Amino acid sequence: MSIKAILVGVSFYPTLNYDPLPLCKNDIFAVKTALINGLKVDSHDIILCGKNGYVTIDDMVNALKFILNYSTQHDTLIFYFSGHGGKNTLAFSDNLLNLQNLIEVIESTPLKSKIIILDSCHSGSFSVDSPAQMALSETVESFAGKGYAVLASCGSEQKSGFSPDRPISLYTSFLCDALNNPFLIRQGKKSLESINQAIFQYATAWNRKGNSRIQDPIFRSNIGGTIYFEVQHYNPYKIKKVYEETDFYIIYAIEPVHHGMAKRLSAKIILRYESSDEEISYIADEINQKIINYDVYQNQKSEQRYKGKPANIIWCYFGYDEDDMIDCNFLCHSTWVDDSQDKKNWYTEGKNIKWVNGIHFNFNPSYTMIKKLMHGEEVNPLQLINEVKSITSKVISLGEKFIQIFREYCNKTITEKELIQSVKKLNTDITQLYLDESNLNVPPKELHDWFQANIQIVSTIQDLTLYYDERYTDKWTEANKLYLINSTIKRYADELENLRELENVADEFIKNKT
């Protein structure tokens, strides 16, 4: 995917006799620099309309045609406008243009993703199509990031202004700061969602200062999830894989769970034979001594902190096969801590806890029952895949509708009471599908990661239903609800991206079975 951009800045209006806006031509240069530095857009993929402040409608149309000629269906188009605006109109040097018509023309272009940014008075007077709907037959790859979004500087009844300390428009200053913000980068990417949330935060801070001109940005979208922009090379930290076979047990994995000043390791162990408590205690003691100096870390920072130090805490989780490891259904687990730790805290007492040969164990009395429940009946994997996809696609579609309604609350076009009433049925439907998914059978281990990714995204969308429910209106403050739901929306977008990357797992499984 590459980004193509058309930046329009109209400063002079000889035909319309409007007052000149000399700073609007500065806006396109500021946005160009921000796109190059912040989103790594190639300067050759950016067209400037209005370097001298004059832009006719034909100038803009010709620029759009030109850029579409060398774009592909996988590209993203950014269209930016700065100049005079009225209710559902944009002013060019020669005439007025219907804003809604322009949005529809850009939306109809064959590019997968379109972003329209408007910095003009009354720019919030537009609508977008229905929220993204994910069809059962549609792939996550085709759904995620498809559609268009419109970002506007102010509401339909508001006017836009200029930045008092910069020679550009106020909203454009928020936009450029968001594009350039390095703290929005996650795993080498910035998202449209994070950029938009940053703009809203900048605008909120501006409005709180008591400035005479209040501007409430508008954001409307029917994009599936969000759009991700790769802005820097990302080399993920690779956690060391540990696997070791012995005559009596297999070290299936060692996971780093370091915290604070304590180096902590969690080992998953497959017992080769039915073993007594005493035999397991000898194995646990052997493993504790074997792995105490293992170098396994979550990330570069933890490696720098703990490298070369022995573990302070070790947990060993025991099961009898790989299903137990994947399901996290363990016969028992042992705990070992060194003298630097609070042993009373870690060596707890309880009904299912006992010491065996000096090893502290916590036994799982439900191990056999859980194993039978999870694997007692034969699963038709192809049917399960279809059931999972059906639930996920329905929940995603409902979640997108919820988010679009929530956006209107953020846009201040509906009240909180209207929001709660509007999402009432959505909350019920999402929760029911969430419960339906929880009753699905456990998949084959080859599908585990894909299955868990589906469960996670459905669970996250179900979280959306908690914050604007008439039963819980007093549980959180307005600021807390906004923070929580915006965080959940970001998490949903990230999980959709993760599901997209795992989608081939289910497809490959189906291919091998048919």
Pair (470, 387) in one structural domain:
yes
What are the DSSP E strand ranges found in 134-238? Answer: 147-152, 189-191, 218-221, 228-230
Its domain, for residue 57, covers 3-230
Q: Among residues 202, 230, 258, which one ends one of the domains? A: 230
pLDDT for res 407? 96
Instruction: Identify which of 154, 133, 33, 140 has the alpha carbon closest to the alpha carbon of residue 86.
Output: 154
Which DSSP string do the residues of 382-412 spell out, in sequence order?
HHHHHHHHHHHHHHHHHHHHHHHHHHHHHTT
- d(CA 318, CA 284) in angstroms, rounded, equals 9
Judge contact between 31 and 80, C-beta under 8 A.
yes
Pair (63, 149) in one structural domain:
yes
Checking if the pLDDT of 241 tops 80, the result is: yes
Those residues with Cβ within 8 angstroms of residue 448's Cβ, 6 or more apart along the chain or in another chain: 326
Those residues with Cβ within 8 angstroms of residue 60's Cβ, 6 or more apart along the chain or in another chain: 6, 8, 49, 92, 97
Q: Is 494 exposed, middle or buried (0-12, 13-18, 19+ CB in 10 A)?
A: buried
Domain-embedded: residue 431: yes
- d(CA 8, CA 402) in angstroms, rounded, equals 33
**Confidence grade of residue 297 (pLDDT, cut at 50, 70, 90):** very high
Helix (H, G, I), strand (E, B) or coil at 323: helix
C-beta atoms surrounding 289 within 10 Å: 11
Checking if the pLDDT of 211 tops 80, the result is: no
State the CATH number of the domain containing residue 62: 3.40.50.1460
Residue 201, H or E segment:
helix 192-208
**pLDDT, tens digit, for every residue of 443-469?**
888 899 999 999 999 999 999 999 998
Judge contact between 194 and 204, C-beta under 8 A.
no
- d(CA 330, CA 370) in angstroms, rounded, equals 10
Pair (221, 248) in one structural domain:
no
Q: Structure tokens of 280? A: 């397991």
Pair (97, 211) in one structural domain:
yes
Judge contact between 223 and 149, C-beta under 8 A.
yes
Domain-embedded: residue 403: yes
pLDDT for res 379? 77
Query: What is the mean pLDDT of the segment spanning 389-415?
Result: 96
Domain-embedded: residue 236: no
State the CATH number of the domain containing residue 265: 3.10.310
Sheet holding 89-91, edge to edge: 85-86, 89-91, 96-98
**Confidence grade of residue 442 (pLDDT, cut at 50, 70, 90):** confident
Pair (184, 205) in one structural domain:
yes
**Confidence grade of residue 112 (pLDDT, cut at 50, 70, 90):** very high
Q: Which amino acid, 125? A: S
C-beta atoms surrounding 101 within 10 Å: 11
Pair (363, 423) in one structural domain:
no
**Confidence grade of residue 474 (pLDDT, cut at 50, 70, 90):** confident
Q: Is 161 exposed, middle or buried (0-12, 13-18, 19+ CB in 10 A)?
A: middle
Pair (310, 173) in one structural domain:
no
Does this model's pTM top 0.85? My answer is: yes
Q: Structure tokens of 513? A: 């079975």
Judge contact between 353 and 361, C-beta under 8 A.
yes
- d(CA 249, CA 269) in angstroms, rounded, equals 7
In Å, what is the CA distance from 344 to each residue of 332, 340, 352, 363? 20, 12, 17, 19
Pair (207, 67) in one structural domain:
yes
Q: Among residues 324, 340, 375, which one ends one of the domains? A: 375
Number of domains in the chain: 3
Domain-embedded: residue 437: yes
